[in-house]
Chain A
Amino acid sequence: QSVLTQPPSVSGTPGQRVTISCSGGGSNIGSNPVNWYQQVPGTAPKLLIYDNNQRPSGVPDRFSGSKSGTSVSLAISGLQSKDEADYYCAAWDDSLNGSVFGTGTKVTVL
């Protein structure tokens, strides 16, 4: 049972902007940086956003992260068919003394 809650699915048409929410608590999102991963089914996850809103080299600026209190969001602008994947938030949890992943969100491009 993950302590970080995400919507199971979001969808949008090509070119649209979609957002994925991730809700946690004071011991994880409220206290530590949040990272986002993209996983195309059958492949390894890929780091998309780290430290709440930083993009690793090579990640297009269509992807952006934001944080407010104990919640974070990932926004994908200019949605493309290749963005179809599962997306996970993750953070360190001070109470658990370990890392936690979100429940995951499947993005579908209509």
Chain B
Amino acid sequence: QVQVVESGGGVVQPGRSLRLSCVVSGFTFSSFGMEWVRQAPGKGLEWVATVSYDGVDKYYADSVKGRFTISKDRSKNTLYLQMTSLRDEDTAVYFCAKESIPVGGLYYGLNVWGQGTTVTVSS
């Protein structure tokens, strides 16, 4: 079945780096854009980053621009989020999600979500 599974979260000190991974299965990874969405404790959903189906186009929230990098490794069916210069406010559950429409589905929602991986930034 179609699924995405995140990993890589943990406790990290401010200013340090962390890489999140999201292994996908059950669909053609190269045909769908992918996104990271986060949720701070007790807060709402916040979009973090998007990568296009072919890995070429990348978009970032202003809050993470210049610090986070989203990428796809099609040979490993894996989505990544490289996070650097982490701040206290980056503490959240990070969800990996698949766009619902192939090739250019930027606007049409995320229909498959992982259970999330928790990142805690604390000294």
Contacts and interface: CB of A to CB of B under 8 A. Distances in A.
A98 B100 contact: no
B115 A35 contact: no
Contacts of B111: 47, 50, 56
Interface in B33-61: 35, 37, 44-47, 50, 59-61
B110 A104 contact: no
A92 interface: yes
Interface string B6-33: 0000000000000000000000000000
A90 B109 CA distance: 8
Task: Report, as a range, how many residues of chain B touch the other chain.
Answer: 20 to 34
Nearest to B50: A99
Interface residues of A, number: 29
Contacts of B100: 47, 50, 56
Contacts of B110: 35, 37, 45, 47
Contacts of A97: 59
Contact of B107 (A32, A37, A47, A56): A32
A12 interface: no
A35 B37 CA distance: 14
Interface string A88-110: 10111000111111111000000
